[in-house]
């Protein structure tokens, strides 16, 4: 008989079981409130298990419980908000019962004090089972006796909500044993979280970690900015213990990592900046349902742009990519993650005018992100022809075709190296900006330009190079002790590009606020330390001298461009600077020089269009 009842209960839908439980608690609460009322009377009336007014009580309270959303919560995670919801439902239910009984029998036979006692009893009878259930679950899956004797003893840095949740998860899994919290909040000193003591401040970490025989440190500060994270990591390194961190909030929001996924501290955790506040409504409005083309969609920036515009609900995404492998990789990823997206992957060169004409004619994109470009500075110094063909002439051909086919917006992704360029790469990107500014004067298509600096961990950048050198045992090569660069993460750069698209009206040049420049020497030292090694002792840093076309520091602004703020604090706008030398004539000569493979002529032409670049070459020759 017992097994039959258990099977019957198990076959009931969990939500229905909760509804039946709550209605039973309403019944018990009403009877208990009535019983309490008459317990002070010498000769109480006969007690009825199912009084006539009970049906009104059950219906009125049941409707209120459903309306307040009580059944959308899970008992497993019952918390204070659920208790508040129960109290609210009890008060509203009492008011509904009062109105129902008034209409039913003018409250005949119902003492008014019952309506005062009933909600108090109901809060207890509904709340207690939920809290006991959560306590039972936590005790069953997270109690200390279940932790293995061989479990790793860990100190958790941060006793806030993230630390509390992490401790609960660790105890449930049993592989780690939290032995204490470290937190700078003095009000928490001596307190306990899930029975785990808050031991002291971050400055005491080295001593406290030895005192409790910690074997690992876990950083539970997902909202920490880069300065705070740098300080935390310095203290962790001083202990000599391995350390891990919970993901940053932005990684969780973007879906790249789950909250309970512990990971090694990465360089972007130290150099990444505070999360950028974006006007997602304007961004989504500008992209939702649109046909979008991304050139260079297999690269670091291009592929992230593809992911983000796909999340924003574009109707069609067209990817043009020269690298077969990169195109295959991003195509497979997008088809797996966004199966409903209409995706067209085109293998080809943006400078192939017949191909681009066909793509524009066949798919009619409304928005184009032109991310295709060569960007390796030292390599392009010896490859002027390839740099001009891809960064200048291909941009010209692509932009002209987009204008001819009525593309609504064409956004060129440029570089901070286009400001006072000292290298071929920067000069070609500056000429590409001029091309878009000139075409914008014709009207029709909005031609926008966005400049930004280095992105962390992009293909061909310094971060993967340093990582490989560290894995080989060094040395890590830095060109100059004083060299600095601006850095931002790939997702942040792409989000600001999308924001700039929503801000631009016709022919603007936008520059992203890159924050403070980072010494490359510091970057190398931190990457070495994050592997558990010490710079200068385990891994050497070798200074090799500036490479061709390389500057000690990059600039975000040109003195003649008159940068001014926009409605977004991280995006600034520059005034136009068209060349004194004839642009159309120079481009025609560049095409001819490319056909003749005349690198010297191309360098001269770049100097005529970009006087800053010409002056740099003159200065280098004088030296």
pLDDT digits (tens, 9 = 90+) for 263-292: 566 666 666 555 566 777 888 888 888 999
Which of 72-76, 344-348, 548-552 is modeled with the greatest confidence?
344-348
Rounded distance between C-alpha atoms, residue 194 and residue 26, angstroms: 32
pLDDT score of 20: 77
Place 580 in a pLDDT band, splitting at 50, 70 and 90: low
- The predicted pLDDT at position 363 comes to 94
**How far, in Å, CA of 440 to CA of 446, rounded?**
6
Confidence of residue 612 (pLDDT cuts 50, 70, 90): confident
Q: What is the pLDDT of residue 6?
A: 44
| pLDDT at position 374 over 80 | yes
Query: Which of 150-154, 271-275, 356-360 tops mean pLDDT?
Result: 356-360
Q: Quick one: pLDDT band at residue 376, thresholds 50, 70, 90?
A: confident
Least confidently predicted of 6-20, 225-239, 439-453: 6-20
CB 396 within 8 A of CB 434: no
Asked if pLDDT for residue 142 goes beyond 70, the answer is no
Query: pTM value?
Result: 0.65
- What's the CA gap between 98 and 92, in Å, rounded? 10
**25-29, 233-237, 489-493, 559-563, range with the lowest pLDDT:** 559-563
Q: Judge whether residue 385 has pLDDT over 80.
A: yes
pLDDT of 8 > 50? The answer is no
Is the model more confident about 96 or about 309?
309
Cα separation of 610 and 387, whole Å? 15
Answer whether 298's CB lies under 8 Å from 326's CB: yes
Count Cβ atoms within 10 A of the Cβ of residue 336 and give its class: 0-12 exposed, 13-18 middle, 19 or more buried.
exposed
Residue 589 has pLDDT above 60, yes or no: yes
**C-alpha R_g of the chain:** 33
Residue 369 has pLDDT above 90, yes or no: yes
Average pLDDT over residues 522-532: 81
Instruction: Assign a CATH topology to domain 280-455+487-513+561-617.
Output: Rossmann fold (3.40.50)
Q: Which two tokens stand for residue 75?
A: 């008992």
Indicate if the pLDDT at residue 161 is higher than 60. Answer: yes
The predicted pLDDT at position 415 comes to: 86
Percent of the chain's residues with pLDDT above 90: 21
Taking the C-alpha atoms of residue 10 and residue 613, their distance in angstroms, rounded to an integer, is 77
Strands 291-295 and 541-543: unpaired
Q: What is the mean pLDDT of residues 346-373?
A: 94
> Could you give the percent of the chain with pLDDT greater than 70?
78
β-pairing verdict for 291-295 and 316-321: parallel
Given a cut of 80, whether residue 30 has pLDDT beyond it is no
The region of weakest confidence among 181-195, 352-366, 388-402, 407-421 is 181-195
Work out the pLDDT band at 534, boundaries 50, 70, 90.
confident
pLDDT, residue 246, reads: 76
Give the model's pLDDT for residue 187: 74
Dist. CA 214–CA 244, nearest whole Å? 13
Higher model confidence: residue 17 or residue 235? Answer: 235
Amino acid 152: pLDDT: 82
Question: Which residue in this structure is represented by tokens 């286009």?
Answer: 418
**pLDDT mean over 313-321:** 93
Task: Specify the pLDDT at position 2.
Answer: 43
| Angle formed by the axes of helices 599-609 and 583-595, nearest 10° | 170
**Higher confidence at residue 20 or residue 494?**
494
User: Helices H, strands E: what count in the chain?
Assistant: 24, 21
pLDDT at 500 over 50: yes
DSSP H/E element including 465 = helix 462-471
Q: How confident is the model at residue 413 (pLDDT cuts 50, 70, 90)?
A: very high
* Ranges in the chain annotated CATH 3.40.50.720: 145-265, 280-455+487-513+561-617
pLDDT classification of 618: cutoffs 50, 70, 90: very low
| HSE-up (13 A, CA, CB side) for residue 378 | 9
Q: Is domain 145-265 given the CATH code 3.40.50.720 in the classification?
A: yes
**Average pLDDT rounded to a whole number, residues 597-616:** 83
pLDDT (mean) for 515-534? 80
> Nearest 5°: phi and psi at 159?
-105, 25
Residue 364 has pLDDT above 90, yes or no: yes
Looking at residue 372, its pLDDT comes to 93
Q: How far apart are CA 557 and CA 525, in angstroms?
A: 29
Q: How far apart are CA 107 and CA 390, in angstroms?
A: 85
Give me the long-range contacts of 537-540 (CB less than 8 A, separation at least 24): 538/474, 539/470, 539/473, 539/474, 539/475, 539/476, 540/474, 540/475, 540/476
User: Residue 33 — very low, low, confident or very high, per pLDDT cuts 50/70/90?
Assistant: confident
Give the residue with greater pLDDT, 536 vs 366: 366
Average pLDDT score over residue span 406-420: 89
Mean pLDDT of the chain: 79
pLDDT at residue number 420 = 84
Return all residues near 217 (Cβ < 8 A) that are at least 6 apart.
Answer: 154, 155, 157, 205, 209, 236, 239, 241, 242, 243, 244
pLDDT at 603 over 80: yes
Out of 270-279, 536-545, 583-592, 599-608, pick the least confident. Answer: 270-279
CA distance 487 to 237: 24
- Between CA 315 and CA 344 the distance in angstroms is 11
Residue 154 has pLDDT above 90, yes or no: no
């Amino acid at each position: 008989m017992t097994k039959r009842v258990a099977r019957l209960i198990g076959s009931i839908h969990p939500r229905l079981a909760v509804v039946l439980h709550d209605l039973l608690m309403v019944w018990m609460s009403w009877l208990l409130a009535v019983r309490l009322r008459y317990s002070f009377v010498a000769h109480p009336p006969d007690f009825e298990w199912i009084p006539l007014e009970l049906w009104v009580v059950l219906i009125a309270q049941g409707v209120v419980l459903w309306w307040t959303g009580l059944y959308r919560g899970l008992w497993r995670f019952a918390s204070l908000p659920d208790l508040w919801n129960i109290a609210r439902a009890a008060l509203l239910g009492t008011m509904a019962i009062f109105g129902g009984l008034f209409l039913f029998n003018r409250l005949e036979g119902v003492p008014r004090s019952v309506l005062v006692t009933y909600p108090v009893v109901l809060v207890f009878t509904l709340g207690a089972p939920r809290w006991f259930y959560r306590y039972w679950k936590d005790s069953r899956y997270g109690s200390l006796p279940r932790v293995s004797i061989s479990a790793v003893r860990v100190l958790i840095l941060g006793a806030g909500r993230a630390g509390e949740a992490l401790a609960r998860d660790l105890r449930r899994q049993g592989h780690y044993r939290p032995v204490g919290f470290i937190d700078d909040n003095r009000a928490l000193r001596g307190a306990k979280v899930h029975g785990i003591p808050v031991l002291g401040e971050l400055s005491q970490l080295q001593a406290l970690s030895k005192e409790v025989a910690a074997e690992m440190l876990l950083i539970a500060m997902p909202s920490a900015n880069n300065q705070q994270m740098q300080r935390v990591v310095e203290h962790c390194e001083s202990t000599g213990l391995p350390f891990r961190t919970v993901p940053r909030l932005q990684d969780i929001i973007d879906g790249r990592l789950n909250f309970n996924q512990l990971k090694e501290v990465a360089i972007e955790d130290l150099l990444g900046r505070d999360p950028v506040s974006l006007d997602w409504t304007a961004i989504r409005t500008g992209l939702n349902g649109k046909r979008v083309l991304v050139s260079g969609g297999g690269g670091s920036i291009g592929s992230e742009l593809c992911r983000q515009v796909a999340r924003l609900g574009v109707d069609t995404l067209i990817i043009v990519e020269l690298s077969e492998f990169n195109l295959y990789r991003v195509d497979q990823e997008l088809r797996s993650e966004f199966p409903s997206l209409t995706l067209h992957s085109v293998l080809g060169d943006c400078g192939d005018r017949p191909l681009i004409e066909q793509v524009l004619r066949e798919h009619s994109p409304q928005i184009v992100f032109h991310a295709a470009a060569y960007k390796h500075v030292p390599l392009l110094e010896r490859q002027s022809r390839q740099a001009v063909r891809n960064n200048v002439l291909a941009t010209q051909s692509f932009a002209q075709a987009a204008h001819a086919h009525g593309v609504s917006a064409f956004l060129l992704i440029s570089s901070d190296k286009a400001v006072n360029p000292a290298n071929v790469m920067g000069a070609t990107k500056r000429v590409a900006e001029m091309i878009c500014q000139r075409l914008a004067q014709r009207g029709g298509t909005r031609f926008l330009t966005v400049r930004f600096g280095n992105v962390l961990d992009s293909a061909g950048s310094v971060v993967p190079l340093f990582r490989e050198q560290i894995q080989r045992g060094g040395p890590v090569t830095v060109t100059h002790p004083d060299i600095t660069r601006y850095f931002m993460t790939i997702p942040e750069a792409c989000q600001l590009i999308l924001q700039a698209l929503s801000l631009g009206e016709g022919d603007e040049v936008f520059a992203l606020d890159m924050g403070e420049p980072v010494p490359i020497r510091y970057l190398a030292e931190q990457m070495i330390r994050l592997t558990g090694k010490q710079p200068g002792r385990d891994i050497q840093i070798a200074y090799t001298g500036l490479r061709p076309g390389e500057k000690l520091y990059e600039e975000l602004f040109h003195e003649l461009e008159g940068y001014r703020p926009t409605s977004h604090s991280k995006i600034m706008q520059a005034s136009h600077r068209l060349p004194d030398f004839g642009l159309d004539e120079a481009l025609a000569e560049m095409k001819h020089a490319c056909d003749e493979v005349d690198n010297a002529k191309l360098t001269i032409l770049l100097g005529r269009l970009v006087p800053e670049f010409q002056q740099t070459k003159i200065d280098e020759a004088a030296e």
